[in-house]
C-alpha cells in the first residue's frame, strides 16, 4: 500500500513539474555588430506565434558583442551565426551589409528568440 502511495506522489510531482508555467528570461539588451548573411520573410504561423503576421528574419555573422543590460546570451559568440527577428519592416538593403543592432532575447527555459529593437547599417 505504501509503495502505491509513494508511486502516486512521485507521478503527481512529475505531472506538476511538466505542466508548470515556464519562467520568462530576465530583461536584457545586447548590441551586436556583424554582417547580414541571410534576409528573409517568414509567417509567424510557422513559428507558433499568434496573431499571424509577417516577420523579418536576419541571420548575421557576429563580429562583436557588447553587453548593455541584464544577462548577455551572446557572450563569446563572435564568429558564429545568430538569427534575429523583427515585426517591423526591414529593407532588403540590409542583405550583405555590416550592421549594428540592439537586440533582446525573449523566451523561457524551453527556448526563445532574439528580437531586434534597433538596427542600422554601419561602414
Across the 123 residues of the chain, what is the mean pLDDT of every consecutive 10-residue run?
Answer: 71 61 91 99 95 98 97 94 98 98 94 97 95
DSSP H or E stretch at residue 18: helix 2-19
Does this model's pTM top 0.85?
no
Closest listed residue to residue 95, CA positions, set 41, 24, 50, 51: 41
Domain boundaries, the chain: 23-121
pLDDT given at position 5: 73
List all residues 6 or more positions away from 17 whose beta carbon is below 8 Å from its beta carbon: none
Scored b (16 or more CB within 10 A) or e, 72-98 reads bbbeeeeeeebebbbeeebeeebeeeb
pLDDT given at position 63: 98
Fold of 23-121: OB fold (Dihydrolipoamide Acetyltransferase, E2P) (2.40.50)
Amino acid at each position: 500500500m505504501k509503495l502505491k502511495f509513494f508511486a502516486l506522489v512521485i507521478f503527481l510531482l512529475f505531472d506538476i513539474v511538466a505542466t508548470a508555467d515556464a519562467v520568462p528570461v530576465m530583461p536584457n539588451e545586447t548590441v551586436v555588430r556583424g554582417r547580414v548573411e541571410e534576409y528573409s520573410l517568414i509567417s509567424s504561423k510557422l513559428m507558433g506565434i499568434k496573431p499571424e503576421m509577417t516577420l523579418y528574419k536576419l541571420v548575421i555573422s557576429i563580429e562583436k558583442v557588447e553587453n548593455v543590460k541584464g544577462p548577455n546570451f551572446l557572450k563569446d559568440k563572435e564568429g558564429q551565426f545568430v538569427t534575429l527577428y523583427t515585426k517591423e519592416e526591414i529593407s532588403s538593403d540590409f542583405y550583405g551589409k555590416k550592421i549594428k543592432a540592439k537586440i533582446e532575447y525573449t523566451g523561457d527555459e524551453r527556448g526563445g528568440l532574439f528580437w531586434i529593437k534597433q538596427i542600422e547599417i554601419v561602414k
